[in-house]
Amino acid sequence: MLQTLRHRLEFLVFQLIVCVIDCLSPQTAARIAENMAWLVHYGLPRQWTRYAVARNNLQTAFGNDYSDVEIEQLVYRMWTHLFRTVTEIVQCPRKLHLHSYRQSIEFADFTRTNQAVCSGRRVLVLGGHFGNWEIGISLFGLWGFPMGVVAREMDNPLLHEWFRKARELTGHRLLLKHGNFNEMTRLLEKGGNLGLLCDQDAGVRGLFVDFFGTPASTFKSIALLALEYDALIIVGYTLRLPDNFANFPWPRFEVGCEALIDPRNVTDNDPVHEITRQFTQALERAIRRAPEQYFWVHRRWKSEPRIRRKRDLQRLAGWPKTSACGILVRCLKKDLIMPQRHRLASVSDLADGQGREFVVEGRIIALFRIGDRFLALDGICPHAGGPLARGTISNCMVTCPWHGWQFHLETGQHVLNPRLQQSAFPLIVDGVEIFIDFP
């Protein structure tokens, strides 16, 4: 009851703010956004505004390129951009129309976008917490190119419903980031298209690729969807241009395609990693044009790769083996780099044709028995996280029980797309016990 009341009060306040913004001229709304940014940045305690996070992120991204004063100004301008983005989202339905959008939009290298849209293939439109992402997505709807827009569900259901209607006003369909993966795949199976953000931390089990020169955990599902459905990937951006309210009635934006990635042209042995690397670097190039329009207060480098500790060892590898540091390195290598042997099960625990799940070092392992042979794969299906150990085993293949993806048990390769590789692990059968060598 109290939560429902709080949600209604929050929505009432939000609606009042929306009404006020909708009545303002774009120039007045921009000035109010600047004042609100000044209040947040200079008036509120720094721990409330996550200033330390923004500052650390900027230093991670740019090193010593910016002085302390310049970083201070970048963070302030970031808040200005965010408040202006809110006012533009509110005013967008009555300012951005098919007959008038050219007054506010400039296109940069948009030929590739047109080619992708008209190719007849599925398209994944990627962006990040950069520029005014909502404006760019709305344009695709105005052009008659609807897509499923993937977003997180908001805590307040009334606010969530408002934003759902706003995003679907131009013909799109809102899909929840958590819980709607089946809807995403069904949409792609029918030839539909998706709009997603590609700069969110994916946790310790994500795919680590360089973002501003530092490994960042990235969701590999985007690359997997592109490979599975032969989808083109557009890395787009919507960059706010300097104001010119004297000649134009609304803020102006540059809409561009930073990269067009075709999975058919990816020849790397690890296509998932290569595609993920390409779209991440494309987003980085776009952000470098206007770093103040990126959302630096979200923790993009929250998760750290385990390999970082191994690189530290490699830097010490030159020490003599008999020195104190050399002995330390050998001990650390034994502890961190050499595979560790773990007991999984007894031979009698699995019947022929059966699979079981085990957790080793926080990772789910699927153990299978085929006659007298035992085989192990990463237990999480890369398609939607299905439990492979519960799948059907036939002809030395396992079929995921959720959506039917099939993998060879010996190699971990996807049956239909050999470029998709599930990790396979060596096993040791010692008498009646089964062990796994796991790094």
Each residue's pLDDT tens digit, 273-308: 999 999 999 999 999 999 999 999 999 999 887 654
Domain assignment present for residue 121? The answer is yes
User: Which residue would you say has higher pLDDT here, 310 or 370?
Assistant: 370
Confidence of residue 257 (pLDDT cuts 50, 70, 90): very high
pLDDT at res. 128: 92
CATH classification of the domain holding 346 = 2.102.10.10
Q: Is residue 319 domain-shared with residue 394, that is, in the same domain?
A: no
Interval 253-260 mean pLDDT: 94
Domain assignment present for residue 265? The answer is yes
Q: Which residues contact 384 (CB under 8 A, 6 or more apart)?
A: 181, 182, 185, 402, 403
Of 317, 337, 357, which one is at a domain's C-terminal end?
A: 337
Structurally, the chain folds into a number of domains equal to 3
DSSP state of 54: H
Q: Strand 406-408 to strand 397-399: parallel, antiparallel, or no bridges (unpaired)?
A: antiparallel
Query: Which among 370, 374, 377 is positioned nearest to 352, based on CA atoms?
Result: 370
Average model confidence (pLDDT) across the chain: 86
For residue 27, CA distances in Å to 10, 89, 238, 303 come to 27, 15, 19, 40
pTM of the complete model: 0.74
Residue in this structure with the two tokens 């900027």, named with its chain if needed: 58
- What is the three-class DSSP state of 129? coil
Of 231, 261, 293, which one is at a domain's C-terminal end?
A: 293
User: Which residue would you say has higher pLDDT here, 3 or 246?
Assistant: 246
Q: Is residue 117 domain-shared with residue 258, that is, in the same domain?
A: yes
Q: What residues make up the domain containing 168?
A: 96-293
Q: What digits encode the pLDDT tens for the residues 14-60?
A: 999 999 998 999 999 999 999 999 999 999 999 999 999 999 999 99
Domain assignment present for residue 72? The answer is no
Q: Is residue 324 domain-shared with residue 368, that is, in the same domain?
A: no
Q: Strand 253-261 to strand 105-108: parallel, antiparallel, or no bridges (unpaired)?
A: parallel
Domain assignment present for residue 145? The answer is yes
Conformational region of residue 385, where left means phi above 0, alpha means psi within -120 to 50, and beta covers everything else? left
d(CA 407, CA 332): 35
d(CA 380, CA 64): 41
Domain assignment present for residue 32? The answer is no
Q: Is residue 231 domain-shared with residue 124, that is, in the same domain?
A: yes
pLDDT at 363 over 70: yes
Query: Which among 105, 119, 144 is positioned nearest to 241, based on CA atoms?
Result: 105
pLDDT at res. 193: 93
Q: What digits encode the pLDDT tens for the residues 97-134?
A: 888 888 899 998 788 998 898 999 999 999 999 999 88
Q: Is residue 351 domain-shared with residue 287, that is, in the same domain?
A: no
Q: What digits encode the pLDDT tens for the residues 162-208?
A: 888 888 888 898 888 766 677 888 899 889 999 999 998 988 778 89
What are the DSSP E strand ranges found in 229-327? 232-240, 253-261
pLDDT at 227 over 50: yes
Query: Which among 376, 383, 362 is positioned nearest to 425, based on CA atoms?
Result: 376
Q: Is residue 346 domain-shared with residue 227, that is, in the same domain?
A: no
For residue 341, the cross-strand partners are 437
Domain assignment present for residue 395? The answer is yes
Q: Is residue 376 domain-shared with residue 288, that is, in the same domain?
A: no
Q: What digits encode the pLDDT tens for the residues 208-223?
A: 999 999 999 998 889 9
pLDDT at 335 over 50: no
Contacts of range 90-94, beta carbons closer than 8 Å, 24 or more positions apart: 90/18, 90/21, 90/22, 91/21, 91/22, 91/26, 91/29, 91/250, 92/134, 92/135, 92/138, 92/166, 93/166, 93/169, 94/22
Q: Is residue 320 domain-shared with residue 371, that is, in the same domain?
A: no
* 139-148, 277-286, 384-393: least confident range: 384-393
CB-side exposure of 216: number of CA atoms within 13 Å?
25
Q: Is residue 215 domain-shared with residue 192, that is, in the same domain?
A: yes
pLDDT at res. 287: 96
Q: What digits encode the pLDDT tens for the residues 366-378?
A: 999 998 899 999 8
Domain assignment present for residue 88? The answer is no
pLDDT at res. 71: 95
Q: Is residue 288 domain-shared with residue 399, that is, in the same domain?
A: no
pLDDT at res. 62: 95
pLDDT at res. 179: 61
Q: Is residue 197 domain-shared with residue 226, that is, in the same domain?
A: yes
Q: Is residue 345 domain-shared with residue 333, that is, in the same domain?
A: no
